[in-house]
Amino acid sequence: MDGNGRWARKRHLPRAVGHKRGVEAVREVARAARDMGLEALTLYAFSTENWRRPEDEIGALMGLLKSFILSDLEEFAANDVRLKVIGDYNAFSPDVVELVKRALARTAGNSGTTLAVALNYGSQAEIARAAAKAAAKGSITPATIEAELDTADMPPLDLLIRTSGEVRLSNFLLWQAAYAEMWFTDVLWPDFTPAHLQQALDAFAQRERRYGGR
């Protein structure tokens, strides 16, 4: 999800307003993903590099995360959505960690759409952790590394969407994206709607996936 800051700047608004509108887009797209019957939706919410941002912006992001969990948790629970976190969320403040743990426990038994949120996530660090765990258990192979990834209990990544006109992966799901289809759009994340998600899915449906074969 990219473009919250630019969305706000274009409107001469504080970046925090862009992040707040971005959360509304998350809510709308997550509901649409559930209604469309998607197995899983993973959202890149806070990267390991985002710690370089100003403290007030990080504080605003954490406040929005807490607000999102508090306001939407019961809706997700009631609609069979399983919440999952990839990355090391234990690096956040104790109140955020406690809220995340409560949300994960509340929805752990749900079997519908998995909504995975990447918090303090970086794919290179994830791969390094997974390789180290695999080595501690025995041989290092693609299969043993994959079994230790944060996404090990999720279905394979089929489609990776990048908003705001950026055409790069930015340390997101590098291993998982090996054979994923990619879809890029100039739409800034706060303006991304379920209609855009459907557009991406329609484009995906037209792709021929050969996985290295002919």
List residues with catalytic annotation: 2, 50
Single-letter residue type at 113: T
**What is the 3-state secondary structure of 187-204?**
CCHHHCCHHHHHHHHHHH
C-alpha distance from residue 124 to each of 50, 59, 171, 172 (Å): 15, 25, 7, 8
Residue 4 near residue 20 (C-beta atoms within 8 A): no
**Overall size of the chain counted in residues:** 214
| Separation of first and last alpha carbons in the chain | 33
Task: Count how many Cα atoms sit within 13 Å of the Cα of residue 35 in the half-sphere of its side chain.
Answer: 10
| Dist. CA 34–CA 71, nearest whole Å | 17
d(CA 12, CA 170): 27
Count Cβ atoms below 10 Å from residue 31 Cβ, excluding itself. 17
Give the integer Cα–Cα distance in Å for 29 and 81: 13
